[in-house]
Every structure is written in structure tokens, then in C-alpha cells.
Structure 1
């Protein structure tokens, strides 16, 4: 009987593809992450806004290249079990099965395509295991979708996945470079109508803190602690007050893409999607009068792991 297993998580997001390797002890419902890395693969790039959305050949090949690199890494570990998950881009793609089959040929693993609600639920599980907050709004800003959870007394009172993210919103509202006033106005109006229709329950989240997950939001945290041009530090539980995050957003709005690249340093690859990713967050903060944001480095993957371990222990 194996006493320890290395559980490999392959996470196919809309903007990045991630690898985490987690040491799991037999009969113990905890894990220890021993390795993580990511590649910016932009799976959602060029999918468009139409119903018949497709993963583009270049995006598929970028992602498969990342998988091959990841396989070289995790193959060095013993007692490996692979779990592959995918979110918004694969979920929305009419040609998803072609991609899933190609990943299986390389890894032997069949991708589990998470529903939007399942993704939001795992975000909630991941956050609650690591943050000491009972009441909050949780937002996971991904490349192809963003998830919103209203947590009251530690429970997921409401949750939803919105099928637009930093990549797709940047394409939709021409936010890659310096956004024009008319495009920003259209963007804001679109979000207000969307929130009125889909997130009417946000009225119950007034004055609650906002917990942020996702790459675009982590860029804000790294700007705050000054690690965009230096070595990376943990951003977990970092707090940024409302006015300061508004100032950071306002400064990036005034820049063109090249200026944002220079300002973002190690996060320069997000310069073309940072406005698309942050604008919904700013609008939620305004709507709910959130006093501050805090950051969680635990989300979907950690929530999935906790759920798997709990299921196995039972």
C-alpha cells in the first residue's frame, strides 16, 4: 500500500495553463504543495463572442506545448496521479473534444470540464479553508469567465459564473490598448445591466470586503507590494483599501499598452487584458461599497483537492 502519492493537477484556464504537484499522505485529508508553475497560453484568444465558439489552432498548440513541458517536470516524481481540469474556454468551445483527446494522448488523463457553478463552488471551498473570513464577496477573475460568490456566515449563500473574463472582455470592448472613453462607457453600461440581471443578490453584500482570486487581480496585489520588478512575495491575505485600488486602476486606464507593460514589469504579459479584468471588479466595489479587497492564493485547484480528499476519507 502506498503511504504517499504525488497528485498532479493540470489546470487549463482561459488565460494560463497551470501545473501543481501536491504531496498527499494515505488516510490523511490534507496535502502539501511541493511544486507549481504556469504558462501564459491564452486559450480564450480569438474565440469570439458568437455561439459557435472554437479554440484556435495557435491557442491549442501553445497549450499542448505547455503540457509537454509539464510532463517532463512531473515525470521526475514517484507515485504520480494526474487530475486534469478545464474551465471557461474549454467549457464554451464547440471543438473542445478535439483538444481533450490531444491532452489525453500526451498525459493519459481525461480532462474534467468544470461547469461554471462547480468552478465557483471550488473557489468558495478553497477560500474558506485558508482565509479567516465569514462574510465576504468572492470574485475569481479568469480569462474567459469570472465567478462571484456571496459568503454569509461562512456559507455560500449565492454563487454564479459569468461567461466573460479578462481576455474576452478586453476583446469585446477594445481594451487591449488605451481604452477610448466611448468603449469604457459602453463597458460600464454593459456590466451594470449584467449585474442587474444576473447578480441582483449583490444588494445583500453591501459593505462587505471583496476577496479576489485570479491572475489579473494578483497583478494589482504585486503592484501594491512592489514585486512587479523584484522577486515575488506572497500576496495571501494582503489588504488594499478601496481608494488605493481605485487609484491603481485609474493610473492604468490612463496608460497605453506599452506604458502598462513597462509599469507591470514581470506581469507585462497581462498589459493588454488588465483593464478588461479589473473593470468588473471596480464596478462590483462601487455597487457594494466594499471597504477593501483582500487576496487569496487558494482557489479552484485547492478547493478541488480539499473536496477530493474529503470524499476519499469518507
Structure 2
């Protein structure tokens, strides 16, 4: 048996999943960790990772390494995305993480991130034709899936944290003019993606913390007991728009009081939701499917497939 640990260091959060892979080809998740690190906070136009953010992030990663060390025969792959990808002090940060936390971070491209999102979804959801959107803290990945294949991928360097800092500087009340500017900006971005209109009327598969918050709010309103277990949960456009309207109408404190919306996400939630809302309008899509699985699961399935090809495990079963 092998334990495979995947760390995903994003712009807003750091997450780790440890999966036990058995010799008979079955597997099960044995540990999941999450820390809100806000790595991209106050990077500014200079794209410099700040000391406070580095300190928070390194502490979280050190904790992850200690947790992984509790398991036998552990293999780890740790990847960093938008914030680290864009950082001008990237090399210094990577060296610091290796020295303090003992973790070798691999900076992956936006297209790699989008492809791993696709692998995580296509292996766990019954979708054939769709548009995938993953809104993180510092980037948004889009994938056009046709006949089960990822035919186009792109990563846009805008996410919940940097969009919020740019368009909503007060972080309190959302002004109509600021929201209009943000949505206009997203429309222009999408118009510049030549292949995106081929996803017209297709369902959208959404992942990322800001997008999943929409599902959590809806499930809490329906009094669904396990409101966070939302993989495969579906919503109509009218339901999504109603939640967005309610969120943008509230000030910071009121947003933090919405059931299903984490207080630590309240200051960036409007910037985080807007890429999805704009995409639904741009593609005239009335169906939304939520995924809890993305980059980390995509990396796992790639590793699992390689183990099968090398004959290290039997069969092709799924746990």
C-alpha cells in the first residue's frame, strides 16, 4: 500500500489530500487539510509576496508536512498556482518553504492547472459536454469539454482576491458602479477567448471555494443536513442569480452572517462569484453543476493511472 499526498497551494488557501492506494487497485481518502493563507494578499501590481502572507503560508505547509509524516510509505506532490506563479520573489519564497517546511513546491502553469481540474471532474462526474470554471484567489481556469475530452483550456490571471482588491477597495458596501466595472471587465475578458462561445448553452461545472459557496448557501436554505457534501449538486440560473443579488446587496458584516458563507471569505466573495455569474450570462447557460474535485484529484488520477501502467497495482477499480 502507498499513501499519496497532494498539496495545492493557491492564492487564497492551501489544501492537502492524502489517499491510501491499496495493492488491489482500490483507494480511499484518509486525510484532508485546509488552511486559509491569503498568499496573494497585498501583492499589488508589483506582484511581490508579502512577509505576513509568506509566514502564514509556510506555517500551514509545515503543518501539512507533519501530518503527512504520520503515514507510512508516503509519496508527495506539492504544487503552487497563481500567486506563486506570478510572484516576482518566487525563487526566494520556494527556497524558504523548502528550508522551513521541507516541502519542494512545483510551480505549475495555468494550463496545467486547468487540465488537472478537468481530470478531477471527468473521473468523478457523469459529464460529456460542458464548460468548466475554477475560480481561485488569483486566477480563473476555463476548460471546454466536448465528447469527454478537454479540447481547449485557458487560465486568466484574475480571481477572488485580486479582483476584490482591484474593484472593491472598501471591502464593505458593494457600490453599483464598482460592480458594473467588474462585470464589464469580465465580459471583455471572455470576448477575448476565441473558443469560449463554442460552449454556448452548455452546462457549466463550477469549482473553487467562491463558487462552491453558492451551493452551500442554497443547500443551507433548503435545510439539507450535509450542506457541504455538494459534489454533483445542480442549480438553475435563476437560483444562482437570486443568491448573487442577495450577496451583493449586503455589507461586509451582513455577508458574513449569510448561512453557508464563511466569514473569512465575506470580503472577497463578490469578486469570487462574479467570474461565474458573468460566464453564465456570456454563454446563456441555465444549468450549473458543482464539483468538490479538481486539481488535487486530477493529480491523483494521473498518478493512479501511471501506477496501473507500471503494474504497481492490480486492475482499474475505483473506490
TM-score, normalised on structure 2? 0.91
The Cα of 1:147 is off from its aligned counterpart by 0.3
- Tell me what 1:187 maps to: 182
Whole-angstrom CA distance in 1 between matches of 2:175 and 2:147: 41
- Tell me what 1:309 maps to: 304
Structure 1's 249 and 204: CA in aligned 2 closer, same or farther, altered over 3 A? same
Aligned counterparts, 1:131-142, within 5 A: 131-142=125-136
- The runs of 5 or more residues in structure 2 that have no matched partner are 310-319
Whole-angstrom CA distance in 1 between matches of 2:63 and 2:11: 18
- Tell me what 1:33 maps to: 29
- Tell me what 2:92 maps to: 98
- The runs of 5 or more residues in structure 1 that have no matched partner are none
The Cα of 1:73 is off from its aligned counterpart by 2.1
Aligned counterparts, 1:26-175, within 5 A: 26=23, 28=25, 31-48=27-44, 50=45, 52-174=46-168
The Cα of 1:230 is off from its aligned counterpart by 7.3
* Cα pair 1:249 1:278 within 8 Å, conserved: yes
Aligned counterparts, 1:267-286, within 5 A: 267-286=262-281
Deviation per CA, 1:110-144, whole angstroms, max 9, x where unpaired?
11111000000001111000010101110001000
Q: CA RMSD in A?
A: 1.9
Whole-angstrom CA distance in 1 between matches of 2:19 and 2:115: 21
Task: Look up the SS of the partner of 2:184 in the other structure.
Answer: helix
Moved more, 52-61 or 244-253: 52-61
Whole-angstrom CA distance in 1 between matches of 2:164 and 2:225: 27
* Cα pair 1:135 1:208 within 8 Å, conserved: yes
Aligned counterparts, 1:251-270, within 5 A: 251-264=246-259, 267-270=262-265
The Cα of 1:19 is off from its aligned counterpart by 1.5
Aligned residues: 307
Deviation per CA, 1:229-257, whole angstroms, max 9, x where unpaired?
97654100101110010000000010011
TM-score, normalised on structure 1? 0.93
Whole-angstrom CA distance in 2 between matches of 1:131 and 1:229: 21
* Cα pair 1:15 1:143 within 8 Å, conserved: yes
* Cα pair 1:229 1:266 within 8 Å, conserved: no
Structure 1's 233 and 186: CA in aligned 2 closer, same or farther, altered over 3 A? closer
Deviation per CA, 1:30-50, whole angstroms, max 9, x where unpaired?
6421110201000111011x2
